[in-house]
Structure 1
């Protein structure tokens, strides 16, 4: 729509300078966008107002507004012709009309005006903060804050991208010399799409059409230069039967053969090779995520929501009335669709960037509850507060399960604090003997993501590992080595499950009495479904009256019907120890889920 309108303005101005009628533009534009408005109408969501991110009245209004724009441009041109006004006043009249139109919209509907003004920057501007970490939304020409053409080459090939730029330059020169409507259209369209991929690389699939057209344009000019049309005419006049073909081939000139070879080698073959690579399919989701989501679907309680049902959206300002059994699954937004479509569970965040939370404008803003604040939380208490804040009912949490993979813990971890605008201190320089290296810091290892994925939730009171997939060879062992170095710990420096599922529970309360101010420990060995073991432990001190309390998330008695059918559990009882005394404690699943007290 925007491209069509910009082209129309340019073409109307050029036609007016050349003394030509633009009725063809007005007729085509009005009919085109009338049909567009009619086709959109059945799919709009009136309850979403004028949002430009969904099918709403905004799209109908912009289509009608574009129709009005075409009509206005035609009427102004006709008035100029009737009044015999000078052509160079025409652009001024258009821009004055546009300015007055925007001014009227600003007073009539500030929200629509804001959308119109912000729309170009949304598409063409380079985003910052958390939005810049979205792979497809980041700029085609910037990676990590550095200008690069590597993404453009990867999307269009080196020859394809440069062919499009050369084609644009040649087309611009041609339009300056003599403007043809079809060339003006391709020029305006291509320039705007180039700006679009500058803002967001996901528009590459649109610009690929421009690359094809501009490459063909260059190829056509090259064939025209070597007089290929003469061969075409000669073929038609001299080849009457297959026997005439050898004689016709002798009429080829060297420059014509070289031109065809150049087109094949530089414009066709590289793009063909890249297209064949891209058409082989995708590895997403990988088998670990498929396995984990299928386990989630079959081994967790029914949330009470029909996966195939269509639910009515609540009235404006009201919340959806979820059943008591409903719960969410917390993970990074990348995996929301996996959780929903494969696991048939409701993700707290998804690839529409819903549920990420955090901040958008300033570090001084409220850190909105969501995936980013939860996964970067520096303590269990902080993370739990986020979970409970997500749910509108203060007595409930927004998620029952948390899913994590090694990629979240390593490759894309720094995208999480980007969404909170609080990125300092997760990596720090350390002297390694060969120089300084940036390694994970205490703040990183204190994050909930690290506590869960690398430390298996050891020491956490209300989060338990219930399932893990098989292990891949990843960077996990290296991160654990850094952890052992920083904390003087001795956790096994090995890769564990690539995808892990944790459950948030109330936790059983184990209480007892010992001497005042005495150190009390509790521990047990956890065995996962992959045959891996790790130690779960906590430590506390009794109060002045000798009382102590542990909240533990694991049941020693196994799963119960209707609840999580976990395959990760203690190999035996908990062991409570203080001084020379040890006591075994067994904990039922009911106690864990209901927060029951077990006295020692």
Structure 2
């Protein structure tokens, strides 16, 4: 073996060892960062999972573990009274269940502990995948930088891959990125092989294994979530642009068409045994629509190839014009012949980029704010710009098809993220890769120059380039003309180094280090301070609720192998629903093993909003009767910070405008500030009546009347909020209405007077009692520190109520499970009281009356039996 060959082997061994060491280091760093939350969220009883959706994922894992690999496509333990048809795939749950089985976990705390490791482990796998992308696009050095960046990148990606965030988001990112890597490799290998579309023999080449692998990687993503179709769109856009470029340059496009055909043929084959779980042709669920769409990619690719061949001798713009005409014609024809189908596909695609008032109440559905984008990826944006320039250069200079694919991938995911922040966890891979491309480009431009300036090039490249120079020594031999020959010898050349290129590299590396440091710091801060998704008030409330409420009669662990079970499933007669805001639905399912009406998939969000924002008590009660709801769970956030979200789902047009009013008030001459005031209707909503006033009647001791003028009438511009011009006080609502009527007689146009208050827990309206709602539990924490007593979480039971004939006002003293006392009051309606609290404690009652009911006007006392309340008996 020659010395030179030994040197090459040694260098290759050192390089691979270095790469391996870097990948191991980055993987360990990733795992450490992602498991930082363990001390904060793990206890003997359970793991306090992050967010909302992970609780439902754990509920699915609990189902799968006993009968693995069975997967339930329908769940009656949520979205009462309909149940939930599962629209995402089983792969993430399968992986988590395998982890649980391998760990030997059997109890709920053990299952939660083991399954919570899956997101960090998937984040670890992202490290070599990102290395592969960087290495295939540029070189091994770019691959290392790409792997390093993904290890420390922050934002939604970091949060959703933390220990305890047991949900499929990280799996979506991993498998979609893996597909892009495999697809890029397939493009490179197919192009190098010279395989052709029309030559059957060439298609027997082993190189076809690469698009097969790309298809398998796509299936991994598809088995996780049908949103993998986005990457089908990436392929479509790339294919159209690439084939136009290849056609214009008279280059063969067989490699591209075959890559698409083989990849998506494998996808279709993989969908068939997986099964079509839903009817119709929607691509948002596992239906035949997915086969149709991926089949269209194959057919479209072949059609593009055929048109290109047909127009091979025509100017390139003939081909471009034909594609534009074909696209428009196909769209118009589709809308005419299959308007519902084509229109549905268009709406599903635009839904990714569209927004509506209700979607904007969902955190992950909000648009990406510029400030958030900058704070998350900060220095990385400079590198991303460099990465884009490097891709454009490679596309222009080398006709680099993987570079074009990467650029389109980045642009599409970036646009999706600007519209809905949920796609930020997809974008993290793009940001890390684009930033690495910038660093890799800078290394290729200025790396050698920097080594030369530093005088260390010989240590990295010991075989200096030699050049021939004249030797002063004279040869004894003579040439043909008798002249002495000048002997030449090789001496090391000394090419000049460019300070400019070296400077570009140094600046790029510094920015890259700042990007990595800021990301790592953000990861440490996030992992060290993140709290569990459920606070102690909700934990204790739902634990109590699960132990002291009737069993709904539904098997918590039963597997339903088809989403169509939703159409045939019938709840048992003893089943009932629990209504709360959708944020808390999965907690109710998992912790209490009870059936919420609304859940974090926004199922039941509209009807829940209608109930909590309803101001007509009878209408609200009728709604619960129709839904079969027996319990209502409220918290202080629903009464305050989440009120706007419920109001928006209730009425997307007006939202909070009917309940709250923003106004300007003058602090000093020429200086105005804004304040939010509550209208009477705000306190008349069910959420306020329940959580703040415990369903009892209330009469305000004083009422504030606010006079206001349009901002423009006072010479103010730039704001639509009216300006407070006067504040009055009345002793009752009737007196306040009289003041308002008098004011209107002389008020100029646009000037108003209205009952308003800055208080959120002291009503400016007279409130009737809720006749059929009784408080059965409240959590320990009092949210009011300056007087008053309102607990964080409250649970109410919706009962028929005992019926008592009488006139006037009836009251009964109540003591809750926390020791808080209040007086429940109710005025008779049409000579009847409907009484929700029994004087005899039920088997699970912890909120008790401390005396009989008393009619205030007569002093008559009444004892109400438990059975009368629960069965609606007349007493």
Q: When the two structures are superposed, what TM-score results if normalisation uses the length of structure 2? A: 0.56
State the alpha-carbon separation in 2 of the partners of residues 209 and 426 from structure 1: 44
Paired position in structure 2 for 1:394: none
State the alpha-carbon separation in 2 of the partners of residues 91 and 276 from structure 1: 51
Q: CA deviation at 1:59?
A: 1.8
* 1:442 equivalent in alignment to 2:680: yes
State the alpha-carbon separation in 2 of the partners of residues 73 and 257 from structure 1: 42
> Greater shift after overlay, 463-472 or 3-12?
463-472
Q: CA deviation at 1:40?
A: 3.1
Paired position in structure 2 for 1:153: 374
Q: CA deviation at 1:46?
A: 4.4
Paired position in structure 2 for 1:418: 648
Paired position in structure 1 for 2:774: 464
Paired position in structure 2 for 1:122: 351
Q: How does 1:268-417 map to 2 (within 5 A)?
A: 268-280=516-528, 282-311=531-560, 320-357=569-606, 370-389=607-626, 391=627, 398-417=628-647
Q: How does 1:236-251 map to 2 (within 5 A)?
A: 236-238=460-462
Q: CA deviation at 1:318?
A: 5.1
Aligned partner of residue 525 in structure 1, secondary structure: strand
State the alpha-carbon separation in 2 of the partners of residues 172 and 190 from structure 1: 13
Which of 123, 137, 140 is residue 365 of structure 2 equivalent to? Answer: 137
Q: CA 1:196–1:268 in structure 2 vs 1: closer, same or farther (change >3 Å)?
A: same
* 1:555 equivalent in alignment to 2:838: yes
> Greater shift after overlay, 229-238 or 344-353?
229-238
Q: CA 1:318–1:255 in structure 2 vs 1: closer, same or farther (change >3 Å)?
A: closer
What per-residue deviation string (whole Å, max 9, x for no partner) do you get for residues 161-183 of structure 1? 34324533553455355531121
Q: CA 1:55–1:410 in structure 2 vs 1: closer, same or farther (change >3 Å)?
A: same
**Number of residue pairs the alignment of both structures matches:** 524
Paired position in structure 1 for 2:853: 574
Q: CA deviation at 1:210?
A: 0.8
What per-residue deviation string (whole Å, max 9, x for no partner) do you get for residues 539-579 of structure 1? 237x6xxxx3210111121113xxxx23112122211221x
Q: CA deviation at 1:265?
A: 3.0
Paired residues of 2:842 and 2:866 also in contact (CA < 8 A): yes
Paired residues of 1:223 and 1:256 also in contact (CA < 8 A): no
State the alpha-carbon separation in 1 of the partners of residues 610 and 505 from structure 2: 63
Which of 635, 644, 661 is residue 428 of structure 1 equivalent to? Answer: 661
* 1:537 equivalent in alignment to 2:819: no
State the alpha-carbon separation in 2 of the partners of residues 277 and 594 from structure 1: 54
Q: Over alpha carbons, which structure has the higher Rg?
A: 2
Q: CA deviation at 1:80?
A: 2.6
Which of 60, 69, 72 is residue 303 of structure 2 equivalent to? Answer: 72
* Unaligned ranges ≥5, structure 1: 142-148, 240-250, 358-369, 392-397, 479-492, 513-518
> Greater shift after overlay, 501-510 or 283-292?
283-292
State the alpha-carbon separation in 1 of the partners of residues 536 and 792 from structure 2: 10
Aligned partner of residue 808 in structure 2, secondary structure: strand
Q: Point out the structure with the larger helix share.
A: 2
* 1:11 equivalent in alignment to 2:242: yes
Paired residues of 1:404 and 1:453 also in contact (CA < 8 A): yes
State the alpha-carbon separation in 2 of the partners of residues 199 and 550 from structure 1: 52
Q: CA deviation at 1:274?
A: 2.3
Paired position in structure 2 for 1:589: 866
Q: CA 1:186–1:230 in structure 2 vs 1: closer, same or farther (change >3 Å)?
A: same
State the alpha-carbon separation in 1 of the partners of residues 392 and 459 from structure 2: 34
State the alpha-carbon separation in 1 of the partners of residues 861 and 559 from structure 2: 50
Which of 104, 109, 113 is residue 342 of structure 2 equivalent to? Answer: 113
State the alpha-carbon separation in 2 of the partners of residues 344 and 290 from structure 1: 13
Q: CA deviation at 1:311?
A: 3.9
Paired residues of 1:471 and 1:498 also in contact (CA < 8 A): yes
Q: CA deviation at 1:292?
A: 1.9
State the alpha-carbon separation in 2 of the partners of residues 255 and 108 from structure 1: 61
Paired position in structure 2 for 1:364: none
Which of 180, 188, 193 is residue 413 of structure 2 equivalent to? Answer: 193
State the alpha-carbon separation in 2 of the partners of residues 433 and 305 from structure 1: 59
Aligned partner of residue 546 in structure 2, secondary structure: helix
RMSD: 2.8
Q: CA deviation at 1:454?
A: 1.2
State the alpha-carbon separation in 2 of the partners of residues 60 and 32 from structure 1: 13
State the alpha-carbon separation in 2 of the partners of residues 21 and 278 from structure 1: 50
Q: CA 1:62–1:177 in structure 2 vs 1: closer, same or farther (change >3 Å)?
A: same
Q: When the two structures are superposed, what TM-score results if normalisation uses the length of structure 1? A: 0.81
State the alpha-carbon separation in 1 of the partners of residues 252 and 531 from structure 2: 50
Paired position in structure 1 for 2:708: none
State the alpha-carbon separation in 2 of the partners of residues 276 and 12 from structure 1: 45
Q: CA deviation at 1:527?
A: 1.3
State the alpha-carbon separation in 2 of the partners of residues 539 and 406 from structure 1: 27
* Unaligned ranges ≥5, structure 2: 1-231, 464-496, 668-672, 697-768
> Greater shift after overlay, 70-79 or 280-289?
280-289
Paired position in structure 1 for 2:515: 267
> Greater shift after overlay, 427-436 or 291-300?
427-436
* 1:49 equivalent in alignment to 2:280: yes
Paired residues of 1:297 and 1:344 also in contact (CA < 8 A): yes
Paired position in structure 1 for 2:34: none
Paired residues of 2:277 and 2:563 also in contact (CA < 8 A): no
Paired residues of 1:164 and 1:214 also in contact (CA < 8 A): yes
Paired position in structure 1 for 2:737: none
Paired residues of 1:330 and 1:347 also in contact (CA < 8 A): yes
* 1:94 equivalent in alignment to 2:334: no
Aligned partner of residue 316 in structure 2, secondary structure: coil
Paired residues of 1:33 and 1:66 also in contact (CA < 8 A): yes
